[in-house]
Amino acid sequence: ISLYRSVVWFTKGLREDTSGYESASKDFVPHDLEVQVPAIVFLVTGGNSGIGKATALEIAKRDGTVHLVCRDQARAEDARGEIIRESGNQNIFLHIVDLSDPKKIWKFVENFKQEHKLHVLINNAGCMVNKRELTEDGLEKNATNTLGVYILTTGLIPVLEKEHDPRVITISSGGMLVQKLNTDDLQSERTAFDGTMVYAQNKRQQVVLTEWWAQGHPAIHFSSMHPGWADTSGVRHAMLGFHVRFRDRLRSEAQGADTVLWLALSSAAAAQPSSRFFQDWKPVSTHLPLTRTSSSPAEEETLIEILEQLAQTFK
């Protein structure tokens, strides 16, 4: 099944257009997000634009302490200033980290563990590179979507476990529904390169990681989610054809962020079983009918082993 056809299927089946969002939102319970969180510390990766920025702003409006982890200094400082101005919350902190660089992630994690506490980690940052490119460390750039999340989350689990009601939310994508976990070619060396499909595979890997972490760390509530197809800079630049065709039906960045907020803030979300995949404030299946995208425990364990070996290489 092509990703394009499956995106259309997923769009229709799970009400991804704006009118569908409005329909879905009728079932939301506004009270779930009517909270103030002055004592809660959040870390949002990719918080300088798109869904990450919209998420950080709404948390700041609720008086949460927000750590923004971003790659671009100038854009990050602009975003921080805007969030402070709009929310009136000064507790917005900036960390410049390239999440495609494993060494820099490890360094950040070690420093953060010594200086800060953390209640909620939101793995939002990601990239979709449409031609095969390598980092300075020889890693395929899209593959860092998985390795970066793995190192950051694994490294911060000990900090999270010290707090009450800790949570990890990973922003995945509906594109992962067309992918079965593939551990044979994490660096995309053996097959014709398709950046969109590689990205979708990364997002499948993130869902598998979420389920694996949930089993091993029951004190933390882990979830992954699909934000809907939102009109973000990432979609505009990496999926131009899709954006041109569906731009009038895409969600706003704020609409894309609302399920992230619900998972990060509400007691109703914490009452859901850990490990689930969410869309529009509800758990949904991680597999489409008849697609045979389920993986075996052995395949999932292989993914973890590969990521752990890679992560330790750069520590």
DSSP state of 101: -
Distance between CA 286 and CA 174 in Å, rounded? 9
Residue 144 Cα distances to 33, 120, 154, 156, 307, angstroms: 32, 22, 15, 17, 10
Q: In whole angstroms, how far apart are CA 122 and each of 43, 53, 162, 164?
A: 6, 11, 17, 16
Residue with tokens 């882990």: 222
What letter does residue 251 receive in the DSSP assignment?
B
DSSP line for 29-92: -GGGG----TT-EEEEETTTSHHHHHHHHHHHHTT-EEEEEES-HHHHHHHHHHHHHHH----E
- Helix axis angle for 297-313 and 144-160, nearest 10°, is 90
Selected catalytic residue, list 4, 21, 150, 199: 199
Active site residue 199: yes
Q: Which alpha helices (H) appear in 91-224, and where do they start and end?
A: 102-115, 144-160, 195-216
* Token pair 């960045």 in the structure block, residue: 253
Q: Which two tokens stand for residue 171?
A: 């922003």
- CA 250/CA 5 separation, integer angstroms: 17
Could you give the CA distance from residue 125 to residue 44 in angstroms, rounded to a whole number?
8
| Cα distance between residue 229 and residue 247, in whole Å | 9
Local structure of residue 287 (DSSP, 8 states): S
3: which residues sit within 8 A by CB, 6+ positions away? 175, 178, 196, 197, 200
> Which residues are tagged catalytic?
199
